Amino acid sequence: MMTLLFLISLLAVFIACSYFKTPVSVWTGATAAVLLGFSIAGQPGWILLTLFWLLLIVVAVPLNYLPWRRQWLTAPILSMFEKMTPQISETERVALEAGTVGFEGELFSGRPRWSRFIKKPLHELSVEEQAFIDGPVEELCDMINDWEISHYRGGLSDEVWDHLRKSGFFGMIIPKKYGGLEFSAVAHRAVLEKLAGLSSSVGSVVAVPNSLGPAELLLHYGTDEQKDHYLPRLASGEEIPCFGLTSTTAGSDATSIADYGVVCKQKWKGKQTLGIKLNFEKRYITLAPVATVVGLAFRLYDPDGLLGDTNDIGISVALVPADTPGMEIGRRHFPLNNPFPNGPIIGKDVFIPLDYLLGGVEHAGQGWRMLVESLSVGRAISLPSSTSGGAKAAALTTGAYARIRKQFNLPIGRFEGVEEALARIAGHTYAISALSRLTASVVDDGEKPSVPGAIAKYHCTELSRDIIKDAMDVHGGKGIVLGPKNYLGRAWQGAPIWITVEGANILTRTMMIFGQGAIRCHPYVLKELEALEIKDDDKRLVEFDRVLFSHIGHSISCAVRSFVLGLSFARFAAVPGDRRTRKYYRKLTRYSAAFAYLADIVMLTYGGKLKQKEKISGRLGDVLSQLYICSAMLRRFEHDGRPAADQAILAWAFHDAIYKIQVAMRGVIDNYPFAWVRPFLRLVIFPLGRGERAPNDRLGHKVAALLLSPSETRNRLTRGIYISDRTGHPAGVMEKLLPDVIAAEPLERRKLKALRSGEISGYTFEEQLEQAREKGIFSDTEADFLLDVRKRVLEIVSVDDFELEELQAGLSKRGDEIRKKAA
């Protein structure tokens, strides 16, 4: 019995010290105290006590006496580490240094500080920004006719372009001293969200100049002369910018672009000028067909040493006027029937003076750094905001349509199959909205969220694709017949576009989220790599020893915390929240520790080869992403004041994300290369088995019902999108009709009861209604109301049809004439 008590006491010391991540000296002292106490008691026998005293001396003395530890333990590990760790390339170093680390670093630590996270408020719109949303943005939405844009014009009308210029849409990120609006990232998000919910073409035109475009680069790297020249013109819309990055042979791998420039001398405006001769072939460049100035990325060479001793100077960026001789620009791509301006840019022997280099000659070769630093901000705003707007529009219209459209005398939203789709739409919309708002708010905090930006880009676009798929399924034929009455078709066609741009999603998931996060966000990995670069041998050993044993303690602590928290359902974890949300914080605390431990095991196992293990990296990226998305949702819920009515949507979205975490972790463990280690990993990560479940049917029913009726929850879920019925837009018309449809349902049931009992008959709705009026089943007011609702419902569920000539004229020169005739 005493032997068992002795072993339990030692185990308790190990677990407690590991869980609370105590220093080695504390762990040694606590273990020695247990041994001393049992030694004084003379139990459980001198042989066992002597064995443990010897074990403690052998282990603890080298660990606590630093000269011995560094000589016997750290030095051999350092030597091995230097051999197995690949050299970080300059390209990778720039990418790692480009962003900042925020709350995602705490998730990587296994010890997120929830109270600090949720107490920090999300940024709100200023009075000026809200006025812009309510004024110029609302006016622009009134002008938008996406069918006209996509089918007849193949682009925006002159009226829309004029409004964009006059109202300052192209200068949202430009400071007021240059004539811009100087809006916050949250305001930038709100504008894009509202526009993209109506038209992805208009949204794209506004997004590009305010994200990865010359304005963003000029603000950070431009010379004073460049800023003074271009920024006022960009803010007013006098100059329309585009950015040429993607080459024909290098898409996501921007460092391998084949476009190049050679430093040389040539006549420029009649004078012999030192400049650059460019040759390039770009494609997929948004706004290129209408651009007046092109931000151009290329590799710069100086074979004659005109700038110095370096031949390959590196990736550089220049601002090139579109009318520069040799530039071919203006032709268009046609990305999946979405006619936002997008096309190729080609140049052969295009000569530009050196002062066209962004930032001047001093910034030659700094293009890669410029791009990754700017892209981390743009990626966190543009596509997440746009897809959030599209998701909200789909949720609003699909919920209304599912209540308005009836089959078998029931709203289709009451059928369980449709309920499943509605629940997914609502839950995913909640997640997208929370994620996009958090990343925008983080930008306003002054961060450059490279990892959260990649998370937001990937998951917002993927979830929005799932949402539009479900929305199309619910709408059936209504969704697939294009025309003025269709508000989903172009979004369905365009979904793969947002998956592809700003870094293809496959690459983003498998290489960027965890690939960058593993080094950038981990509390020790980057410090270990930096220690390897210390030139002085003694200093390198001392620093590496310090970081290494902190890392080892971190890994042991995360393993123990994962096991203990999993075994206890994290009931003893110190977390904020109320009765409903405290369990969510506990789950995230548990899985944060499990993720941190699993990530360490994987990195230790694969080392530098983890780059090639994209499936494993992708699954770990999924875990980090879902932890971050859950954090964003909880922060939104807290910011909204913990509304009880939103609890069902939060619960659905949270359980969906946690289940995905379990699936991803299982995938990592099941594919771990050493089969004999897998049972131990399962024990540490899932000590009571895999208990997470996808959202159940009862919860899905509650969530689906929230989309079918007007409510504060539905308003919060879809806030920020355009719902006016002034121009006859279907979303606004349906929102106005929905309360009347609900009010008409008791009358429809009364009519159906009379029809089944034989009180009334007739072949048409109108005949039946007239009989019901005559027999007093309905009053005149009720009958007129039913007839009006019926007429408006038929208008909503109707679809378009065309003469062949009108379809053939879609993008022809006669399009305007035929459109007017058809109208």
Q: Give the whole-angstrom CA distance, residue 292 versus residue 277.
A: 20
Q: Give the whole-angstrom CA distance, residue 473 versus residue 237.
A: 40
Short-list 421, 518, 553, 470, CA closest to 108: 518
Tell me 15's DSSP state: H
Amino acid at 152: Y
Q: Give the whole-angstrom CA distance, residue 722 versus residue 729.
A: 9
Tell me 688's DSSP state: T
| Cis peptide bond N-terminal to 44, omega within 30 | yes
**Cα–Cα distances in angstroms (integers) from residue 260 to residues 166, 256, 257, 276, in the given order:** 37, 11, 8, 9
Tokens describing residue 3: 């032997």
Q: Give the whole-angstrom CA distance, residue 64 versus residue 53.
A: 16
- Give the bridge partners for 243, in sequence order: 295
Sign of CA dihedral 458, 464, 469, 470: positive
Amino acid at 673: P
Q: What is the DSSP string of 696-725?
A: PHHHHHHHHHHHSS--HHHHHHHTTS----
Q: How far apart are the first and last CA of the chain?
A: 92
Q: Give the whole-angstrom CA distance, residue 694 versus residue 272.
A: 70
Tokens describing residue 664: 């991803």
Q: Give the whole-angstrom CA distance, residue 145 versus residue 138.
A: 13
Short-list 221, 224, 226, 195, CA closest to 208: 195
Q: Say if strands 327-329 and 342-353 run parallel, antiparallel, or are unpaired.
A: antiparallel
Q: Which residue has tokens 């540490």?
A: 684
Active-site residue 806, yes or no?
Answer: no
Q: Give the whole-angstrom CA distance, residue 737 versus residue 745.
A: 13
Radius of gyration from C-alpha coordinates of the chain: 31
SS3 of residue 410 by DSSP: strand
Q: Which residue has tokens 């839950």?
A: 427
Tokens describing residue 640: 């909204």
| Region class of 557: left (phi > 0), else alpha (psi between -120 and 50), else beta | alpha
Produce one character per residue of 593-623: b if its CB has 16 or more CB atoms within 10 Å, e if not. bbbbbbbbbbbeeeeeebeebbebbbbbbbb
Find all residues with CB under 8 Å of 594, minimum gap 6, and list them.
558, 562, 565, 566, 665, 684, 685
Say which of 129, 182, 193, 502 is annotated catalytic. 502
Q: Give the whole-angstrom CA distance, residue 640 versus residue 799.
A: 38
∠ Cα 407 410 415 (to 5°): 85
CB 2 within 8 A of CB 10: no
For residues 767, 772, 778, 781, the Cα torsion angle rounded to the nearest 10 degrees is 30
Count of CB atoms within 10 A of residue 628's CB? 26
Which sequence positions are flagged as catalytic? Answer: 502
